[in-house]
Amino acid sequence: MKKIYLDSASTTQIRTEVIQEMTKILSEDYGNPSSTHSFGRNAKSILELSRKTIAKQLNCSSQEIIFTSCGTESNNWILRSVVKDLRVKRIITSKIEHHAVLHTVQALQEEYGIQVDYVAIKSNGEIDITDLVELLAQDKKTLVSLMHVNNEIGTVLDLDRVGRICQQHNAIFHSDTVQSVGKTEIDLATIPVDFIVASAHKFHGPKGVGFAFVRKKSGLRPLFYGGEQEKGLRPGTEGVHQIVGMAKALDLSYGNLVKERQQISDLKTYLIRRLEIEFPEFKINGNQDGFYTVLNVLLPVPEDKTAMILFYLDMKGIALSRGSACQSGSISPSHVLEEMLSQEDLLKPSLRISFSHYNTEEDIDALMEALKSI
């Protein structure tokens, strides 16, 4: 049975060139970058080259890239340090953030008694910017944390616009860009954002490595303490092969972006067309013009099929999700869809189909055949 992977928002297939690069480092360049001998110096220069590669793609200084283990760690670190060390008294965020932000903000609220305000979400899943501006009118030291591309419904935030609004109100701006880094251009020299985060496994790199962009003179302090790695901001011996794999994956993603974005966008259009024919009553959860890598749809099939639909597709070798991967084992509705759908629609099956350049029209055809036979 041919297996079909339509869950690239959860994680992506690693590129062959990335594996080759990582294998070389693992076997040949095993020095500890903190050692002063030639092995260490070699590892250190490889590490710094990776940092430069990443910084170049995002148009920032390499000093502003801090390597971490994943998107979750980067989000936790930034949010916590902004409250603890920069003494922010209030966070404005949204109820449709990834749990790596949402649960961290809730924990900080309990621990530090900070004020948390959730900006209104429009029915198409977009952030209500007018509400954000109204919330920012309060005179309190504030952090705004809003994601760039939503991992479940693919709605896109205008980073530049929100960054400027934050600047006008003297608010610090953090954006969880885990779903967009490597998949759309991000120019950090022009976008007024203080912190963004990325995770290599979302752009065809290895798992267990990510980075944070921390704008110069941020005042951030480490989450935990140890050696001097990453200027003391993120101690612990660096996973050089992981970092090299991440830099290679990002370089390839941006090098192929124009071609792969077109290919994936065409696939998404193809899927929508097929759904219009086979399931004319289907609805798109989120914005019609959402991000090209994700499509979240509500299917007009009986409610009693909701619980078994993913299982059924899995039996047919088709992998996709109902929401974010961390929740996909749960049958409770996604916290993102809960913010947007009626109680009636929440009971119906919604599917998140997410693509990569490895997908083909045949994958979509197989999905449609499987869905028709439910």
Nearer to ligand PLP, 12 or 316 (CB): 12
- Shorter beta-carbon distance to ligand PLP: residue 356 or 366: 356
Site membership for ligand PLP, residue 58 (CB under 6 A): no
User: According to CB under 6 A, which one of 25, 79, 82, 100 is a site residue for ligand PLP?
Assistant: 100
Indicate the residue among 9 and 275 with the shorter CB distance to ligand PLP. 9
Alpha carbons 349 and 303: distance in angstroms, whole number: 7
Is 64 a binding residue for ligand PLP by CB under 6 A? The answer is no
Based on the residue annotation, tell me whether 326 is a catalytic residue of this protein.
yes
Instruction: From 25-33, 35-43, 70-78, 237-245, give the range in contact with ligand PLP by CB under 6 A.
Output: 70-78
**145 part of the interface to ligand PLP, by CB under 6 A:** no
Name the region of 204 (left: φ>0; alpha: ψ -120 to 50; beta: rest): left
Q: Do strands 142-145 and 90-93 pair parallel, antiparallel, or not at all (unpaired)?
A: parallel
**41-49, 69-77, 122-130, 304-312 -> range binding ligand PLP (CB under 6 A):** 69-77
The active-site residue, picked from 60, 70, 166, 326, is 326
Residue 147 in the binding site for ligand PLP (CB under 6 A) = yes
Distance, CA of 185 to CA of 205 (rounded, Å): 18
Q: CA-CA distance, 263 to 363, in Å (whole number)? A: 14
Residue facing ligand PLP at closest CB distance:
71
- If binding is defined by CB under 6 A, does position 57 make contact with ligand PLP? no
Select the residue interacting with ligand PLP from 80, 98, 234, 322 (CB under 6 A): 98
For 236, the token pair is 């612990």
Among 4, 12, 50, 71, binds ligand PLP (CB under 6 A): 71
Q: Is there binding between residue 363 and ligand PLP (CB under 6 A)?
A: no
Footprint (CB under 6 A) of ligand PLP, residues 289-318: none
Site size toward ligand PLP (CB under 6 A) is 14
Q: Is 244 in the site for ligand PLP (CB under 6 A)?
A: no
72 near ligand PLP, rule: CB under 6 A? yes
Q: Which residues pair with 92 in a beta bridge?
A: 117, 144
Which stretch in 12-20, 30-38, 49-57, 171-179 sits in contact with ligand PLP by CB under 6 A? Answer: 171-179
Per rule CB under 6 A, is residue 70 in the interface with ligand PLP? yes
In this chain, which of 81, 179, 218, 359 binds ligand PLP, going by CB under 6 A? 179
Least distance in angstroms from the C-beta of 373 to ligand PLP: 30
Candidate segments 22-30, 65-73, 184-192, 288-296, binder of ligand PLP by CB under 6 A: 65-73
Q: Does 102 bind ligand PLP (CB under 6 A)?
A: no
Contact positions vs ligand PLP (CB under 6 A): 70-72, 98, 100, 147, 151, 176, 178-179, 199, 210, 324-325
Point out the residues that are catalytic. 326
